[in-house]
Amino acid sequence: MSVEITTLPSGLRVVTHAMKELETASVGVWVRAGARDERDDEHGLSHLIEHMAFKGTRKRDARAIVEEVETAGGDLNAATSVEFTTYNARVLGSDAPLVLDILSDILTDSLFDTAELEREKGVILQEIGEVMDTPDDLVFDLFNLAAFPDQAIGRQILGTPERVSGFDRKSILAYLERHYSTSVAVIAAAGAIDHATIVDAARRRFGALPNRPIAERATAVYRGGDSRLNRRLEQTQLVIGFESVGFNHPDAYAAHVFANIAGGGMSSRLFQEVREKRGLAYSIDSFQWSYTDTGLFGFCAAAAHKDIPELASVALDCLADCARDLSETELRRAKAQMKVSLLTALESAGARADQIARQLMALGHVPTREEIVARIDALDVEEIRRAGAAALTTPATVACVGKARGAPDPAKVAERLRGV
């Protein structure tokens, strides 16, 4: 695996993976600044800044930014998550320096023009409205709010109409001053690239990105809770979850394997019991989300209102049984699926660039494929059971959208899982 890492004198880190069999490359900048870093009066500002980055600099207007990339046959994108903001593009490998020139321009010399800002706030208000009209998205917003109440990590990434409408250029500049620094940024590239070329372009083009100390994040405090929204829908959307572990926890791999066995595919316990045997839902999936200092494990499904009580009971019983008696056969299958996921990421320049950037920021290094496979192979049944039981004995979080009365409250969830 040809991963190379260079730290520039400014503190900016450059990580690349040359994939010689490819002709294209994915190149971007990852910043350790996301929704959980916002103050109360900044809710939604990280996401707004991501949008505004493409709205013009002193050198390029908004149209020129996208035309330069698309004229080269590429596409430009950005994303805001709970802990990171990403700006990246996919192009031919020879055009990687062009991408870095454009990204350095938008990250160090954006105008944040008032007229553009007002237009983009309107776009985001439409995006918020779209989520409100999408129950399977909205239920996860409710879930996160209940899991981490009164904390930025639990708030919706998009913000609220009231907050977004009130942001101005001064708000943006103040946030950037606190959170955008070479000390928490990574340039990552994968595909048909040369490490030295990327390093040289980064050194020449990102000199204006400041190196300043960044305040430590507030530690997340999981509490769990209950959040329900009654709506007239054909189905009720349900999410039930628990506290799990973060990236750096010794049980991180075990937690992911447990989630995979519980509900990670058509052969999983949840899918087989809930859909195949009982026909209670079209789909049911488990999830394991890891953050820097905490994580969330749970399952999600949609079902007819009358079937929600049975679905919840059956699913919780499946999770409890999985923590008690998962088999070597299930473990072998889950390990194989995780290895395929790893190899799939290695076959995509975009997925690989995102992976190495996040690993470098979260772990401080990029594990080799051999290291990851060894960690997976070393897991045994008892470790997986313990990881699952540890999650299931934390306070439950319940969220639903639809006819919400049928879902169990957290106390009933705990009662159902007694004895895990």
Residues designated catalytic: 50
Nearest to 89 by CA among 27, 30, 18: 27
Q: Is 390 exposed, middle or buried (0-12, 13-18, 19+ CB in 10 A)?
A: buried
CB-based contact 349:24 (threshold 8 Å): yes
Report the alpha-carbon distance of residue 311 to residue 127 in Å, rounded.
31
SS3 (DSSP) at 394: coil
- If one counts every other C-beta atom within 10 angstroms of the C-beta of residue 231, the result is 14
For residue 8, CA distances in Å to 14, 72, 198, 203, 286 come to 8, 28, 12, 7, 41
CB-based contact 112:118 (threshold 8 Å): no
How far the first Cα of the chain sits from its last, in Å, is 41
Q: What is the DSSP letter of 215?
A: P
Report the alpha-carbon distance of residue 374 to residue 397 in Å, rounded.
33
Report the alpha-carbon distance of residue 192 to residue 209 in Å, rounded.
26
Say what the alpha-carbon torsion angle 97, 100, 104, 107 is, to the nearest 10 degrees: 170
Q: What would the 3-class secondary structure string for 294-306 be?
A: CEEEEEEEEECHH
Q: What is the DSSP letter of 57?
A: B
Helix extents (H) in 156-251: 161-166, 169-179, 195-205
Nearest to 157 by CA among 207, 82, 99, 227: 82
Nearest to 211 by CA among 55, 7, 6, 15: 7
Tokens of 59: 């050198």
**Phi/psi at 119 (nearest 5 deg)?**
-65, -45
| Chain centroid to CA 298 | 15
- If one counts every other C-beta atom within 10 angstroms of the C-beta of residue 71, the result is 11
Q: What is the DSSP letter of 408?
A: P
